[in-house]
Amino acid sequence: MNSILTVQKGEKISQIRFQAPDTFAHVLEKGGFNVRKPCGGNGICGKCKAEITGSVSMPNEQEKFFRSRLICQAMLFGDAKVHLPDVSCMEQIELSDMSAINAIQPMRGRIGAAIDIGTTTLAVRIYDLTTGKVIGELGSENPQCVFSADVMGRISAALSGNAEALHTKIINKLENMLDIILSKSGRSREKVDAFVITGNTAMLYLLTGQDVLCLSRAPFKADKLFDEEINLLGGYAYIPPCIDAFVGADTTCAVLSGGMCCTEETKVLCDIGTNGEIALWNEGKLYVTSAAAGPAFEGAGISCGCGSIQGAIDRVWAENGDIRFHTIGDKPPVGICGSGLLDAIAAFLELGIIDETGAAEEELLALTPEIKLTKADIRSAQLAKAAIAAGIETLMKAADVKAEQVSKLYIAGGFGGHINVSSAVRIGLIPGEFRANVCFIGNGALTGAEKLLLDQNCRNEIQQIAKDAIPINLGNDPDFNERFVEHLYFDKVITDF
């Protein structure tokens, strides 16, 4: 049956013809609309809420729970209308610090781009390779989020027949970002002929069209670790080396950028994101691991969560027994992003609204009359912080290092660059002994990619980092699960072994 879906987004109205019955998500995607499905379309995150009228299915159990129609759950049986939210772009995507980067022996070409493909966000910076000067930069959301918010969800989507779509989305988005940057500088797209592209192992597999089957099942052994030049995006691209299936080139680039292996001091690097990578340098050895923290600290999977957009609550504190907050751009609150979530939990603990187990008497914990955290939101944050904290502790155990021996904690990543250290310590995300030794390095993965773009001598260093790194598989560690459970509590502090 031929039917019409009328779509309103902002001031724009368009129509999509389709054959009923069909799913809302499928019709919208065929019509060229991106539908964000952080939970993989299972109806458990509530992030695809929309105003839907017409010949549609009755609300199912998931929709009744969220008290809203969900694009990933609703069925179309005939003509219908949908009003899609006009979502703002992310405002605080972390780019790198340019201050310490010099063009010594740049890659061949006229214009080069350093690119970091994160699970949640993308970051691009373009250089004039003849002068070493920055032409422009841009951050954006990873468009693959429409399939899933996390790595395993993307892998599952690829194995379910969406591998080409995942590849196409990321290529098209990067092309678009390059065009936007270059249009502002009056440069020609054809002159960009050199790239360094970093990311975790799964993101690089999806970028280059590799089969992700080996990353989906035990023993989770990657059959490709890159460290190669390939033709991509109309030029030649260097893909830095990964270490294993879940410790990728973003980690090796971040370690390179921090220079942590060029010292005798004991240091820890933590990229706190959807796929949290942790590295520990001690006595000439580099221990690395990856902790599946999930997307809670990046705003996904949280009932009122959002990215770093205008109006996102990014800071929360307790004052005179009440909750106070700040929003990005000082705009009216529209949701809460990762740094705000971490602060909110610390404030709730301070006020006794939640206890050390995360339990609360109230079903909903209000930040504003409209924006409230649920018990499930608190639980998601507990799972995320427990994974990171237990990962740090596991590396320290492997290296026989105590917390007080660590001279520096480098915190990298989009979320990490905006956290309040006191809140991170209060909820047990990082050990209290690290409090005075925290150093924020921004997007360390992008900084490392820039170094490789501007100084090819760095290739030897990053190859050595990848070669000598000692990966610690948390799934094979007999004590990790016990540490993880202990760190679910908000009063857990890393102690001596």
What is the DSSP code string of 152-168?
Answer: HHHHHHIIIIIHHHHHH
Supply the pTM of this predicted model.
Answer: 0.80
Q: Which residue has the tokens 């951050």?
A: 139
User: Mean pLDDT, consecutive 10-residue segments, the chain of 497 residues?
Assistant: 85 86 84 71 74 89 79 89 67 51 82 93 92 90 87 94 96 94 86 94 97 93 96 95 94 92 92 86 94 76 82 93 92 90 95 93 91 92 93 94 94 78 93 90 91 95 96 87 92 48
Say if residue 62 is exposed, middle or buried (CB neighbours under 10 Å; 0-12, 13-18, 19+). middle
Which residue type is seen at 108?
R
Which pLDDT value is given to residue 120? 82
Q: What is the pLDDT of residue 309?
A: 82
| Cα separation, 495 vs 497, whole angstroms | 6
Judge if 2-84 and 111-251 fold alike in CATH terms.
no
> CB neighbours (10 Å) of residue 172?
11
Residue spans per domain, the chain: 2-84, 111-251
DSSP letter for each residue of 85-132:
--PPPPS-------TT---SBPPSSSEEEEEEE-SSEEEEEEEETTTT
What is each CA distance from 246 to 42, 132, 151, in whole angstroms?
24, 33, 9
Query: Cα torsion for 169, 170, 172, 173, to the nearest 10°?
Result: 110
Rounded to whole angstroms, the Cα distance separating 146 from 127 reads: 30
**Predicted local confidence at residue 87, as pLDDT:** 53
Structure tokens at 120: 């949640």
pLDDT on residue 25 = 84
CATH class of 2-84: alpha beta
Q: Where are the alpha helices (DSSP H) in 248-374?
A: 249-258, 338-351
pLDDT score of 496: 40
Rg over alpha carbons for the chain, rounded to the nearest Å, is 23
- Are 440 and 256 in contact by the 8 Å Cβ rule? The answer is no
pLDDT of 11: 75
Q: Is the Cβ–Cβ distance between 135 and 128 less than 8 Å?
A: yes
387: three-class secondary structure by DSSP = helix
So what's the pLDDT on residue 485?
A: 92
What's at 454, amino acid-wise?
Answer: L
Residue 12's pLDDT is 82
Which CATH superfamily groups domain 111-251? Domain of unknown function (DUF4445) (3.30.420.480)
**In angstroms, rounded to a whole number, what is the distance separating the alpha carbons of residues 455 and 26?**
46
pLDDT for res 67: 73
